[in-house]
């Protein structure tokens, strides 16, 4: 304790500050000049409540001092409520299903307060009639049928159509890849310019590639005979606005072969292959060839067998051991080997002329059956036919399967089948050859080069 400060000593001893009853309370800080000075308290003295000095008692511990009671703290008086000038705020009360309950009372924070706004009472609970008892188990009405899912047949049709389209596209791509491509349409100096319409050169060769000895004997090919030759040469002109014209070019036609002089037409194929044959035909006819297709012995027979045979009306009986056939005149169905012998045989009165006529007859029958509805609607017949045809054909590097499809569609329509005008036969160093009628042949091929109909007097039926 500090003996010089009696007030501090008195607070620490829980003794009221010195003074007499009725004296003004002491103020903190330095006393004023006119204020009475409190008596000085010695360290050994202590002031009592009556102000008399006495002996200094020993200091009391803090736990021995009896605390003075603290008067309760009263809240400040509340202002009287003012008169309200607007309607009380209404708060929505959620509706509760069940018996009514007492409204919630808000307790006042500080005792009794002004009355609150009236609370919106909930709707009274109304008890309805009890639900009817369920019928006995045996008398229950049947359940209502569940609504069936609405079917969409049009969606299934679209899905099926999409699958078929994708399958067809994949099949076309596969067939196009299976074609054997060769450089047949080679450019050369002074080549014939583009002519209107589309021109195909179709060649049937005596190629025996891929044939076994048994197959060669069945097809009566005569074994290996040296370089590949051709027995069938046809020029197809697809007009832009008229009929399609199918022209047979005799293999013994006596023409000029570039670099070889004059010789038979099929000699160009034996000497220079497809490229030299195309060049020879373009020079002899004045018509530009746009597409090329070639088929061999084995491929020809497989295509016929894939169709199940071809129905042909044979105009005259043919008995040709070299071709392996013995056919009677009349309509009949020919299989692969028989059809091959029919288009190759020259054992008739007019030899090459009859053979060209037989080739045109067979070509018409083949296209008729290949493009019929029974063939196109039967995938088990159409797919083997397409695959065998694609594998057995040789085409130019720029040709595709859709070009062949357009050719087949053009030949399916109205077609004029004829042959080049013939002037006669002659014996030369190349053997017995066939001569073209120069005037008629010139008029014939000029009409084709201009995409015009061939005059009737030039057609050979």
Q: What is the 3-state secondary structure (H, E, C) of the chain?
A: CCCCCHHHHHHHCCCCCCCCCCCCCCCCCCCCCCCCCCCCCCCCEEECCCCCEEECCCCCCHHHCCCCCCCCCCCCCCCCCCCCCCCCCCCCCCCCCCCCCCCCCCCCCCCCCCCCCCCCCCCCCCCCCCCCCCCCHHHCCCCCCCCCCCCCHHHHHHHHHHHHHHHHHHHHHHHHHCCEEECCCCCCCCCCCCCCCEEEEEEEECCCCCCCHHHHHHHCCCCCCCCCCEEEEEEEEECCCCCEEEEECCCCEEEEECCCEEEEHHHHHHHHHHHHHHHHHHHHHCCCCCEEEEECHHHHHHHHHHCCCEEEEECCCEEECCCCEEECCEEEEECHHHHHHHHHCCCCCCCHHHHHHHHHHHHHHHHHHHCCHHHHCCHHHHHHHHHHHHHHEEEECCCCHHHHHHHHHHHHCCEEEEECCEEEEEEECCEEEEEECHHHHHHHHHHHHCCCCCCHHHCCC
The CA distance from 128 to 140, in Å, is: 25
Confidence of residue 291 (pLDDT cuts 50, 70, 90): very high
- Out of 34-38, 151-155, 419-423, least confident range: 34-38
Given pLDDT bands bounded at 50, 70 and 90, which one contains residue 408?
A: confident
d(CA 451, CA 456): 15
pTM over 0.75: no
Question: For position 249, what pLDDT does the model report?
Answer: 92
Mean pLDDT (the chain, rounded): 78
What pLDDT is attached to residue 383? Answer: 87
Taking 70 as the threshold, does the pLDDT of residue 216 lie above it? no
Percent of the chain at pLDDT above 90? 22
pLDDT of amino acid 24: 55
For residue 293, what pLDDT is reported? Answer: 93
Contact present, 278 and 289 (Cβ < 8 Å): yes
**What does the pLDDT average to over 218-242?**
75
Closest CA to 332 of 317, 346, 345, 347: 317
Q: What is the pLDDT of residue 61?
A: 59
Higher pLDDT, 240 or 11: 240
Mean pLDDT, residues 449-458: 91
Residue 353: pLDDT band with limits 50, 70, 90: confident
pLDDT given at position 290: 94
What pLDDT is stored for residue 278 in this prediction?
Answer: 94
pLDDT for residue 203: 92
- Candidate ranges 99-108, 278-287, 406-415; pick with highest mean pLDDT: 278-287
29-33, 228-232, 402-406: segment of lowest average pLDDT:
29-33
The whole-number average pLDDT for the span 432-451 is 92
Residue 205's DSSP bridge partners are 230
Give me the pLDDT at residue 217, please. Answer: 64
- Cα separation, 161 vs 145, in Å, equals 34
Task: Report the distance separating Cα 318 and Cα 328, nearest Å.
Answer: 7
Mean pLDDT, range 5-25, rounded to an integer: 55
Per-residue pLDDT for 33 more than 60? Answer: no
Structural domains of the chain, ranges and CATH numbers in brackets: 182-458 (3.40.630.190)
The backbone region for 230, taken as left when phi is positive above 0, alpha when psi lies in -120 to 50, beta otherwise, is beta
Q: pLDDT digit string (tens) for 358-387?
A: 888 888 888 888 888 888 888 888 888 888
Q: Is the pLDDT of residue 317 over 80?
A: yes
- Measuring CA to CA, which residue among 100, 361, 414 is closest to residue 234? 361
The pLDDT tens digits of the residues spanning 61-98 come to 555 656 677 777 777 777 666 655 555 666 666 655 55
């Amino acid at each position: 304790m500090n003996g010089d400060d009696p007030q501090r000593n008195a607070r620490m001893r829980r003794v009221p500050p010195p003074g007499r009853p009725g004296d003004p309370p002491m103020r903190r800080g330095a006393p004023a000049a006119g204020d009475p000075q409190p008596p000085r308290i010695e360290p050994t003295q202590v002031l009592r409540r009556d102000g008399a000095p006495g002996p200094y008692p020993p200091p009391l511990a803090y736990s021995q001092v009896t605390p003075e009671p603290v008067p309760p703290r009263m809240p400040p008086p509340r202002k009287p409520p003012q008169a309200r000038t607007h309607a009380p705020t209404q708060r929505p009360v959620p509706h509760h299903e069940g018996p009514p309950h007492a409204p919630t009372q808000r307790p006042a924070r500080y005792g009794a307060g002004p009355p609150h706004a009236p609370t919106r009472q909930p709707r009274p609970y109304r008890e309805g009639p009890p639900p009817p008892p369920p019928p006995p188990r045996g008398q229950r009405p049947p359940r209502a049928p569940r609504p069936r899912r609405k079917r969409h047949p049009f969606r299934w049709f679209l899905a099926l159509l999409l699958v078929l389209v994708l399958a067809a596209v994949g099949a076309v791509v596969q067939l196009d890849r299976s074609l054997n491509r060769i450089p047949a349409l080679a450019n050369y100096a002074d080549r014939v310019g583009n002519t209107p319409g589309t021109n195909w050169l179709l060649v049937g060769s005596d190629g025996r590639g891929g044939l076994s000895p048994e197959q060669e004997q069945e097809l009566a090919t005569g074994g290996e005979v040296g370089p590949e030759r051709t027995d069938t040469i046809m020029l197809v002109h697809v007009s832009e606005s008229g009929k399609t014209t199918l022209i047979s070019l005799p293999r013994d036609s006596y023409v000029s072969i570039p670099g070889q002089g004059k010789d038979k037409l099929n000699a160009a194929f034996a000497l220079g292959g497809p490229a030299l044959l195309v060049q020879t035909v373009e020079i002899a006819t004045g018509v530009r060839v746009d597409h090329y297709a070639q088929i061999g012995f084995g491929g020809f027979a497989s295509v016929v067998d894939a169709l199940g045979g071809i129905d042909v009306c044979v105009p005259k009986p043919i008995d040709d051991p070299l071709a392996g056939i013995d056919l009677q005149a009349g309509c009949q169905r020919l299989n692969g080997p028989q059809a091959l012998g029919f288009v190759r045989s020259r054992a008739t009165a007019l030899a090459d002329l009859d053979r060209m006529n037989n080739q045109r007859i067979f070509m018409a029958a083949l296209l008729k059956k290949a493009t019929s509805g029974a063939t196109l609607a039967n995938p088990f017949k159409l797919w083997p036919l397409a695959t065998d045809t694609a594998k057995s054909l040789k085409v130019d590097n720029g040709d595709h399967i859709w070009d062949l499809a357009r050719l087949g569609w053009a030949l399916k329509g109205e077609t004029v089948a004829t042959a080049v005008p013939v002037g006669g036969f002659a014996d030369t160093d190349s053997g017995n050859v066939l001569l073209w009628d120069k005037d008629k042949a010139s008029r014939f091929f000029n009409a084709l080069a201009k995409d015009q109909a061939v005059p009737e007097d030039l057609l050979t039926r």
